[in-house]
Copies of this chain bind each other. A is one copy, B any other.
Amino acid sequence: MTTQKGSSQPAESDPPPNTTRHRPTTMREVAEAAAVSVATVSLVVNNKKDARIGADTRKRVRDAIRVLGYRPNALAKNLVSGSSRFIGLVADAIATTPFAGQIIRGAQDEAWKHGYVLLIANTEGNEPAEKEAISMMLEHKVRGILYSTWYHRVAQVPAALNETDFVLVNCFARDSDAWAVVPDEVQGGRAATEILIRHGHRRIAFLNTTTPSPARDGRLQGYREALESAGIPFDPNLVFDAYPDQEGGYAAVEGLVQCGVTAVFCHNDRVAMGVYDGLRQVGMSIPEDIAVVGFDNQEVIAAHLRPPLSTVALPHYRLGAAGVRLLLGLDEAPGNGVLRIVCPVVERDSVSTRQEKAPANM
């Protein structure tokens, strides 16, 4: 097949004919073509405000740029200015979960907005890889580093991070005041529970995860706070342990029906999916017999269960975006250094059908 490569052939073998596609055009060449100095070219390329360039000079330069297909060399530019427009993102698992991707996306969009580019590295949580990734970013003189994890947890901050600005995303340091952005688990747990309360439920179970984590503690606390605000006494017998996946939810159904609750708040959407299966098994229907809300808003699941699942979303996109804003000093970090992002409610039909929520007009 024909080659699609331009740079594949050694350029020095023959004198560059005046065709395109050899060594990239430099600013100096543009300057010669336009019969001006490189300084002038630089000025027009960068649209320097306080540079007074004659209209015709400017035009000559512009033309030369177009004709030669000139592109500024960011490497050189960065070298001069001493700092690059890179932001490093090191992640422990870029795509083990659908979530991590949203962090990247949020970070990327926000970075882009301010003229920065994301340099990413995924380390699989592997320490040498992590060190190497950070080194490489440091060597590229990144503006700063976002250190992110795929689930909300305590992070062991690699020492090398201190050589630059950094912010933790979806994780936090236990013994340091390093800046961090995390989801507000407590508020999320409260919100989830409140959906149920708002629909008149008083006997509400909570299927919490078995894994110790900020999510486990935070959501439980939120659940309790919501009950308390509503004047509903907390009943520890209504809090169940469930392994945080479909099987865990399925297995928990038996206990659920035995204790006679009218609603259940599941630690995550996958658990909720298991609960759906279990409930169906025993002939109970959602939301009539039992209302359920999940957590995470894992689209593939939540939006397409029957009935679609009301849930609380994990704000991954915003986590990533807030991370770069903090990094760039666009937002101020809160006093303790950790910024909590709210987990928004996503109501669907697993608490009450749409008809009940908003009666049709006819």
User: Given A119-B119, A165-B5, A165-B8, does the pair A245, B304 have CB atoms closer than 8 Å?
Assistant: yes
Instruction: Collect the chain B residues with CB atoms within 8 Å of residue A166's CB.
Output: 4
Q: Answer whether residue A164 sits at the interface, using C-beta atoms and an 8 A cutoff.
A: yes
**Which residues on A are within 8 Å of B, measured CB to CB?**
1-2, 4-8, 21, 23-24, 69, 71-76, 78-79, 82-84, 94-95, 97-98, 100-102, 104-105, 108-109, 112, 117-122, 135-136, 138-141, 162-166, 177-179, 245-247, 250, 270, 273-274, 277, 280, 298, 300-301, 304-306, 333, 335-337
How far apart are the CA atoms of A141 and B302 in the complex, in Å?
Answer: 43
User: Given A108-B120, A300-B301, does the pair A163, B101 have CB atoms closer than 8 Å?
Assistant: no
CB distance from A129 to the nearest CB of B (A): 8
Instruction: Collect the chain B residues with CB atoms within 8 Å of residue A136's CB.
Output: 74, 117
Q: With CB as the reference atom, state the residue of chain B lying closest to A163.
A: B6
Instruction: Collect the chain B residues with CB atoms within 8 Å of residue A78's CB.
Output: 75
CB distance from A22 to the nearest CB of B (A): 12
Indicate which residue in B74, B82, B277, B301 contacts A301 across the interface (CB closer than 8 Å). B301
CB distance from A116 to the nearest CB of B (A): 10
How far apart are the CA atoms of A23 and B163 in the complex, in Å?
Answer: 11
Indicate which residue in B71, B165, B246 contacts A138 across the interface (CB closer than 8 Å). B71
Q: List 30 A-B contacts (CB under 8 A).
A: A1-B333, A1-B337, A4-B177, A4-B178, A4-B179, A6-B163, A6-B165, A7-B83, A7-B164, A23-B82, A69-B163, A71-B135, A74-B139, A74-B141, A75-B84, A76-B79, A79-B79, A95-B105, A98-B300, A101-B104, A104-B120, A108-B122, A109-B122, A117-B119, A117-B121, A118-B120, A246-B304, A270-B304, A274-B304, A300-B300
How far apart are the CA atoms of A270 and B305 in the complex, in Å?
Answer: 10
How far apart are the CA atoms of A18 and B27 in the complex, in Å?
Answer: 38
Q: Are B162 and A4 in contact (CB under 8 A)?
A: yes
Q: Are A73 and B4 in contact (CB under 8 A)?
A: no
A1-B336, A74-B139, A245-B304 are known; give 20 further A-B pairs, CB within 8 A.
A2-B177, A4-B165, A4-B177, A4-B178, A5-B165, A8-B165, A23-B82, A73-B139, A75-B78, A79-B79, A94-B104, A94-B105, A100-B101, A104-B122, A108-B120, A120-B120, A247-B304, A250-B306, A273-B304, A301-B301
CB distance from A175 to the nearest CB of B (A): 14
